[in-house]
Amino acid sequence: MRVGIIGLPETGKTTLFNALTRMTRSTAPTGGSRREAAVTTVPVPDERFDFAVNLFHPKKQTPAAIEFVDDAAPFGTGEQSKFGADFFEGLRKVDALALVVRAFESDYPPAPEGGLHPGRDIQLVLEEMLLADMSLIETRLERIEKALKTRKAGAPAPEQLEKEILAKLQAHMDDGKPLRTLTLTPDEIRATRSFAFLTEKPVMVVANIGENAIGEVNDPLLNEAVKACAAEGLPCVALCARAEEEVSQLGPDEEREYLDALGIEAPARIRLIQLAYDTLGLMSFFTVGEDEVRAWTVEKGATAGQSAGKIHSDLERYFIRAEVLEFPKLMEVGSWEAAKPLLHLEMKDYPVKDGDILHIRAKKV
């Protein structure tokens, strides 16, 4: 899973990236342009995974992971016209977008022209993404029209169907609506998947607040951001990127002590990763043992068969049954031997739940 961190200049994107990846300003790769976007893989914090590792002491431990991409395309730079429709190509490769908006006062960096208005900034970035998708569709439709004009009469015209689908998308966006609010048929989804439209991607808003606003429920800048998110139907999380960056450089004990002092329940990496999972409709299941403890990421509602396929395609193809244990039961009894009687057998269509431990039985080939 890849999450692109985006936003206008001086909103704290790279500071947030440093906090999420435990980097420092001196060692973090430089973001700020499409060619220099920083990409780092971060293990997904999960107390269930940690419990299993401590229980089994496996030879190998593989947590779930998430990639963060810092500033894959600089918004608000006025450079979009120089690069054309492919300017946002870096963002088209991510699964979700974390839009950072400035909701803090400071002398440096100074406030942008027109003052601090998180709601305005959210709208500006969303509009730029909408325009980028519209430009992409217009360019493709022009090419289709040229192809259709040069085609001989009576010859097959496979582009005609694509033209009709793109026209449907274009009409939706002409009303100022992002594509994630448009319901498409499975055939339409397949036909347009290669475009990787920006406005199809889930968007999470990160309101970057000042330290003085941590724990405040009536901060005006934060309230403006929350209101704008509600209007767009977007999830929003408030955090202080500068404080989170400082916290990320501490050891576990110091980190917890500092977070408690600031009144922060969980560090940014945990909150934002959980929000990303919720926004994308993802969950984790586990395989455990002395050889390896591993967390696997699947879509919510995935079946035992589909989850087996995540491990290896042959396990789904030759699936016999799954031995399943809910993780809370393992934590309750405290050992694998005590948990074995609690295992239950499930077939291929069993809907896997978040935290399930699976042991897949398959035919030998």
183 with 205, same domain: the answer is: no
User: What percent of the chain has pLDDT above 90?
Assistant: 69
Q: Is residue 284 part of a domain?
A: no
133 with 219, same domain: the answer is: no
Q: Is residue 292 part of a domain?
A: no
DSSP 93-149: G-SEEEEEEEE---SSSPPPTT---HHHHHHHHHHHHHHHHHHHHHHHHHHHHHHHH
- Choose one of 180, 199, 218: the last residue of a domain: 199
Q: How many domains does the chain have?
A: 3
Q: Is residue 354 part of a domain?
A: yes
Residue 237: give the domain boundaries: 2-117+200-279
Q: Which SS3 state, helix, strand or coil, does residue 361 take?
A: strand
pLDDT tens string 56-87: 999 999 999 999 998 666 676 555 544 445 55
275 with 349, same domain: the answer is: no
* pLDDT reported for residue 113: 83
β-sheet with 96-103: strand ranges across:
38-43, 65-70, 2-7, 96-103, 203-209, 236-239
311 with 324, same domain: the answer is: yes
Residue 85: φ, ψ to 5°: -65, -20
Of the ranges 110-114, 292-296, 359-363, which one carries the lowest mean pLDDT score?
Answer: 110-114
pLDDT tens string 270-279: 999 999 999 9
**Residue 132 CA neighbour count, 13 Å, CB half:** 28
225 with 102, same domain: the answer is: yes
pLDDT band for position 34 (cuts 50, 70, 90): very low
Kindly report the CATH number assigned to the domain that includes residue 65. 3.40.50.300
CB 296 within 8 A of CB 305: no
Q: Is residue 335 part of a domain?
A: yes
For residue 230, pLDDT over 60 is answered with yes
* pLDDT reported for residue 154: 66
- Return d(Cα 44, Cα 51) in angstroms, integer: 14
Mean pLDDT within 97-109: 91
DSSP 57-72: --SEEE--EEEEEE-S
**Residue 354 CA neighbour count, 13 Å, CB half:** 10
100 with 137, same domain: the answer is: no
Neighbours of 3 (CB within 10 A): 25
Of the ranges 1-10, 14-23, 34-43, which one carries the lowest mean pLDDT score?
Answer: 34-43
pLDDT band for position 306 (cuts 50, 70, 90): very high
* pLDDT reported for residue 83: 41
pLDDT tens string 240-292: 999 999 988 888 888 888 888 888 888 888 999 999 999 999 999 999 999 99
pLDDT tens string 119-152: 999 999 999 999 999 999 999 999 999 988 887 7
Q: Is residue 54 part of a domain?
A: yes
- Return d(Cα 118, Cα 203) in angstroms, integer: 15
Mean pLDDT within 178-198: 93
Kindly report the CATH number assigned to the domain that includes residue 309. 3.10.20.30
